[in-house]
Each structure stands twice: as C-alpha cells, then as structure tokens.
Amino acid sequence: MKYAEIAEAYEKIEATTKRLEMTDLLVNLLKNTPKDIIDKVVYLTQGKIYPDFVGIEIGVAEKLAIKALARASGRKESEIEEDLKKSGDIGETAQKIIAKKKQVTFFHQPLTVQRVYETLDKMAKASGSGAIDAKMSLLAGLLADATPKEAKYIMRTVTGNLRLGIADMTVLDALAIAYGGGKESRELIERAYNISSDLGRVAKIVAEKGLEGIKEFHVSIGEPIRPMLAERLSSPEEILEKLGGKCIAEYKYDGERVQIHKNGENVILFSRRLENISNQYPDAVQLVKKHVKAKEAILEAECVAIDVDTGELRPFQELMHRRRKYGIEKAMEEYPVSLFMFDALYIDGKDLTLEPYPIRRQALERIIEQSERVQIAKHIIANNAKELEKFFLEAIEEGCEGLVCKSMAKDSVYQAGARGWLWIKYKRDYKSEMTDTVDLVVVGAFHGRGKRAGTYGALLLAAYNPENDTFETVTKCGTGFSDEDLAKLPEMMKKHVILHKHPRVNSMIEADVWFEPVVVIEVLGAEITLSPIHTCAMSTIRQGSGLAIRFPRFTGNYRLDKAAEDATTVNEIIEMYQKQLRRIAE
Ligand code: ATP
C-alpha cells in the first residue's frame, strides 16, 4: 500500500468537522488497506506505532526534525526555522520546503506504508550514543523520497503533532462498519478492545476473521485490560437498594491501582492508565512472585504505602516518592508498600472476566497466600445499612477512603473499560486538613515488629474529659518517632507501666501494655473522623460513634510541661471536628 493513500485520507479527515463523515472516511481507508497491515495503519492514524501500553514512542524533537528536513531538501536550517516561525506547524513547513526542492528526482521510490512504518519503528528503537544521528538519517531518507503532502504527515507524526482527532471509539465504529457487518457489531468489537487495549490487534482480527474471530477473543497476559470503574452513591441505603439488598463491601484502599500480569517469574504492573509501572515497584513485583500461587494470572490490587513497623496504612501522597527513574531503592526503603488484591481476571488459562464477582473473588482467595504485605481486600457481605455504615467508619479510620460495594448478582461480570453500577463507591465528599496540633496522653502501647522489635510499634493516645475526669482514646500513633525516641520510650515509660487498663482510662481497644495517664505528647493529624472504636466523645455526634484522629504523626515534642489534665480536651476535639465540617460546607 502506498503511503500516499494514507496521506490523502488524512487530508480529507482533517478537513471535516463532522464525526460521521470522519467515520466514513476512516471506513474507506480501512477497507482499502491490505488486511495484513491494517494494525499498522490503525496505529499510524492515531500518530503511534504501537498501542500505548508498550511504551514505545517515536519522539523526535523539533530541532532534529528541522535538521533532517534540511538534509533531505538541501535547504538551510535557518530558512526552515524562519518558515516555521510563520507557519507554527512543522508539517506545513515541511510540505512547503519539499515542494521547493530544486532537483526533482524522477526515479525516486514511492513510499509504501510498510517502509514508513518500519523506518518510524527503527527511529523509535534507536538507542545509545549514535541514536540522534541514526534517527536523523532515517528521517531524512524518508523525506527525500516523500511528496510534499507525505512530508507534511510524516513530520507531524514523528514530532507527535498528527492530531487528526480520531478517537478510539471512532476507530471501533469504523471497524464495525468496514468488517463487522454494521454498527451493531460495535459492542462486541469494543469488548475485544476493552480486554486488550490494543486497537491494532483488534482491527487485524476483525479484518481477517470477522466477528467469529472477535467472539473467540480472550484476555492475554501482557495486554492490559481497561479498568472497570465504580459509580458513586452517598448513602448505604441507596447502595443496598441499587445492589439488590446485598453486596460484597470492601475497603476502598487509598493507593495506586495496579493491574498485575504474571507469567511465571515474569511480572508486569500496569497503572490505572495502563502504563507499565513495574520499575516504580520492584518490591511489589517480588511480593507477587512470592505470594501469587498461580503460574499465570491477571489480578487487580491497590498498592498502598504502609508503615512496616506498625502495619498502618499511610496516605496516598507518599506513593508520589515512587514516581522516579533514579533512586528507587531508597524510595522503596523509605516508602514501603503493601498489596491489597481485589480482583482476578485470568488464572492459568481461564479467562474470568465474564464470571460473576463472587466467583472471581473465590478464585482470588485460592491463589493468594496472604501475608502482612499481600492481602485480599478486607470485606464483609452486607445486607443492612447499619452494618455497612459501621464498616465504612472502620475503613476510614484504618486509613482507607471508604468502601467499594460490589454486586453479587449472576451478571456481575468484569465490565472492562466501563464505569457502571456493579461497583458503587461510598466515600466522603470532602478532604480536609487538621491544622492545629493536639496534646494527647499516652495511655497504652502496642509491641513493635521488625525494626521496632523490643520497643513500641504504636502508642494509644487519649484526650481528657474534665466532666468525669477520664481519658478517652482518640488515636493510635506509630509515626514520627525517631530511632532515638524509640530507643528511649520503653525506658521513659517503664515507671508508668501498670498491669491493666487504668480506671480513669476509657478504651474499647485492648493495648499490649497499659500506662498510668501521665505522659503527654504533641501530635498532628490529617483530620478528625467518626469512629466506632475510639471512645473520645462517644455518642455525642452520632449514636455509637466516637471521634478519631486520622494519620497521626508525633511532632517530636514531649509536653513535659503539661500534666495529663492539661491535655487537649474531648470538647476541644469536638469543636475541631465541627469547625472542619463547617469549613467543608462553606
Ligand atoms: P477514585 O478517585 O474515587 O479512586 P477512580 O475514577 O480512580 O476514582 P473508581 O472506579 O471510581 O476509580 O473507584 C474505584 C477505585 O478505587 C479503583 O480505581 C481503585 O484504584 C480503588 N480501589 C481501592 N480499593 C478497591 C477495591 N477493594 N475494589 C475496587 N477498587 C478499589
């Protein structure tokens, strides 16, 4: 196939503003394309040479493109730059410059699609010290044989400026019309795309094998499945009603979604946007190798920052430190992660995407060997609003964003690439910040693990209630302690250790060690939330709920100047909570 045919089609597509007309033009182009290269043509129309998840881009800088054009046309770079300043479009400039080429070669080779594609591919893959020169010569070679119109589109393609506006959905429509017998087949073809994210491969199958081929289409390892997304409702009652009175409610962990593709020792992690992010999480890759007991699997999980010493979840923001090319080892140590698995889409030869969720979850449970670092999303099967609300508060307090409630119905398939009502998220409408520090009384402690064996992993902290002279627990804090703090804490607290909960301490949580309420420390939290397990202001705001401070961090200040009775009071915490709510409402 001649590249001129593509350039011709591009020109017409560019000229239309109507989507239907654009689809028709694309249908024509696809019909005229030999089937064995239809994948390549599809990639090219979107300015690519591979599906996005492969991560290979042509990536030619404008400067380099100008050099190549100068070489191919025999014109000066300065002249090209001058023209580019006026036109603002490297494609137009190339068209003009090539048209002016003095020596018209009569025996030049017409460009074929194959040659253009292969050359772009070589350019994309050129690496090492000679890469820039190699790219330049390859591009100059193409331009030397290009007509002005071809030069325009080649230049726009290599510099990432093709922008014909052909969306994935337009290609799917065009494929349905060209090879699926009509628009009605679009849904089937779209599903193939949703489970492979590869428009080129889908095009080739539908062109070569028709809809029968598409019906046989299955997920495959290495090709990311477009994620299923959740709708949202704001009350447990509505959620239950929508899901037929019963659902699997899971913690909505606040981290980064990863789609895990495992083939033996080969593990790839794809992001929510289907980029390969394995390099950001070498530790998660190892965890998958160790804890996923299937040879082949495609699974979904939320990758969450954690505090290994306390097992607590950390805020999403900490994962930002993983978005880097260099120094990942250090980031890995400072910001460790856990995986919370929540779906299984393929296991050892079996495509599970059309199975109902309870079956997929069971399959997941069978192949995961759980540990502290690899767990299956915490869940309950809920059929009443009260328990759903209680589970929601637990989730928030443990550092999650809320819940994802999932349909258990027969048709609760994995809806790749769609936001639907089979999953409903329940989270709060706001994110707020706690700006003031609080001074809290140390009433108990939990044994540390790992690096913190022998000292405390976290402290149980309480606010003071002067009305009945008690200390009511408000948070568990394990973050912000230096090594030095950790070394001296047991010694410092030794004289206050008692065998059981102090009579003035009001706690529903069982600590490993109890203290007399004497030592006060300063803490900064992220926000204050309702809590079913902390006793601070129990049943004041809502029946059966207390208040808790989320993501607390010790500031490093021991308030030795304060007696326990001088600590932040329960009323102050209530006020802070209400102020926070008012700020959200404003
Ligand atoms: P949000 O910003 O609310 O996370 P989103 O558009 O990224 O929205 P949604 O599908 O609306 O995604 O919400 C579900 C998201 O929650 C998933 O993308 C996933 O990253 C995350 N998540 C955390 N825990 C779970 C879970 N148990 N099941 C499904 N998704 C979960």
C-alpha to C-alpha distance for 53 and 50, rounded to whole angstroms: 8
Q: Is the pLDDT of residue 585 over 70?
A: no
Which ligand 1 atom is nearest residue 272's CA?
Answer: 18
Q: Span 408-420, mean pLDDT?
A: 96
Taking alpha carbons only, the member of 218, 221, 302 closest to residue 268 is: 221
Looking at this protein, which amino acid is placed at residue 453?
A
C-alpha to C-alpha distance for 179 and 21, rounded to whole angstroms: 18
Give the per-residue pLDDT at 429: 62
Which residue has a Cα nearest atom 31 of ligand 1?
252
> How many A from CA of 421 to the centre of ligand 1?
13
Give the per-residue pLDDT at 104: 55
Band of residue 372 on the pLDDT scale cut at 50, 70, 90: very high
Band of residue 366 on the pLDDT scale cut at 50, 70, 90: very high
C-alpha to C-alpha distance for 361 and 355, rounded to whole angstroms: 10
Which ligand 1 atom is nearest residue 230's CA?
Answer: 10
Q: Span 47-68, mean pLDDT?
A: 94
Beta pairing class for 337-347 and 296-305: antiparallel
CA 338, distance to chain mean position in Å, is 15
Which residue has a Cα nearest atom 12 of ligand 1?
229
DSSP label at residue 322: G
DSSP string computed for 524-573: E-SEEEEESS--TTTTTSBTTBEEEEES-EEEEEE-TT--GGGSPBHHHH
Radius of gyration of the chain (CA): 30
Give the per-residue pLDDT at 453: 85
Give the per-residue pLDDT at 109: 81
Buried b (16+ CB within 10 A) or exposed e, 61-85: eeebbbbbbbbbbebeeeebeebbe
- The pLDDT tens digits of the residues spanning 92-102 come to 999 999 998 75
Q: Is the pLDDT of residue 397 over 70?
A: yes
> How many A from CA of 469 to the centre of ligand 1?
43
Give the per-residue pLDDT at 287: 98
Which residue has a Cα nearest atom 16 of ligand 1?
252
CA 8, distance to chain mean position in Å, is 39
Instruction: Quote the tokens at residue 533.
Output: 């397990």
* Three-state DSSP state, 508: coil
- The pLDDT tens digits of the residues spanning 265-282 come to 999 999 998 999 999 999
Band of residue 406 on the pLDDT scale cut at 50, 70, 90: very high
Q: Which positions ≥6 away from 149 have C-beta within 8 Å?
A: 4, 7, 8, 11, 95
Backbone dihedral angles phi then psi of residue 6, each to the nearest 5 degrees: -65, -45
C-alpha to C-alpha distance for 270 and 258, rounded to whole angstroms: 5
C-alpha to C-alpha distance for 270 and 285, rounded to whole angstroms: 11
Beta-carbon count within 10 A of 466 CB = 10
Give the per-residue pLDDT at 340: 98
423 pairs with which residues across the strands? Answer: 406
Give the per-residue pLDDT at 454: 86
Band of residue 451 on the pLDDT scale cut at 50, 70, 90: confident
Mutating to test ligand 1, I would choose from 252, 341, 379, 431 the residue with most ligand atoms within 8 A of its C-beta, which is 252
Mutating to test ligand 1, I would choose from 404, 426, 431 the residue with most ligand atoms within 8 A of its C-beta, which is 404
Residues having CB within 6 Å of any atom of ligand 1: 229-230, 250-253, 257, 272, 302, 342, 377, 404, 425
Give the dihedral sign, CA 331/332/333/337.
positive
Residue 579 · residue 424 · CB < 8 Å: no
Domains and CATH numbers, the chain: 229-430 (3.30.470.30), 436-585 (2.40.50.140)
Give the per-residue pLDDT at 584: 65
Give the per-residue pLDDT at 305: 95
> How many A from CA of 248 to the centre of ligand 1?
15
Mutating to test ligand 1, I would choose from 225, 257, 357 the residue with most ligand atoms within 8 A of its C-beta, which is 257
Lowest mean pLDDT segment, chosen from 57-66, 233-242, 304-313 = 304-313
Give the residue numbers marked as catalytic.
Answer: 252
Q: Is the pLDDT of residue 103 over 90?
A: no
Band of residue 107 on the pLDDT scale cut at 50, 70, 90: low
> How many A from CA of 229 to the centre of ligand 1?
7
- The pLDDT tens digits of the residues spanning 344-363 come to 999 999 999 999 999 999 99
Q: Is the pLDDT of residue 424 over 70?
A: yes
- Compute the C-alpha angle 478/479/484, nearest 5°: 95
* Three-state DSSP state, 466: coil
> How many A from CA of 371 to the centre of ligand 1?
22
Report the share of the chain in percent with pLDDT over 70.
97
> How many A from CA of 230 to the centre of ligand 1?
7
DSSP label at residue 74: T
Give the per-residue pLDDT at 579: 83
Give the per-residue pLDDT at 335: 94
Q: Span 305-314, mean pLDDT?
A: 88
> Mean pLDDT score of the chain, rounded to an integer?
93
C-alpha to C-alpha distance for 225 and 394, rounded to whole angstroms: 31
Band of residue 105 on the pLDDT scale cut at 50, 70, 90: low
Band of residue 115 on the pLDDT scale cut at 50, 70, 90: very high
C-alpha to C-alpha distance for 418 and 153, rounded to whole angstroms: 33
Give the per-residue pLDDT at 100: 87
- The pLDDT tens digits of the residues spanning 497-550 come to 999 999 999 999 999 999 999 999 999 998 899 999 999 999 999 999 999 999
Q: Span 413-441, mean pLDDT?
A: 86
Which ligand 1 atom is nearest residue 419's CA?
Answer: 10
Give the per-residue pLDDT at 354: 96
Give the per-residue pLDDT at 514: 97
Residue 376 · residue 342 · CB < 8 Å: yes
Beta pairing class for 470-477 and 505-506: parallel
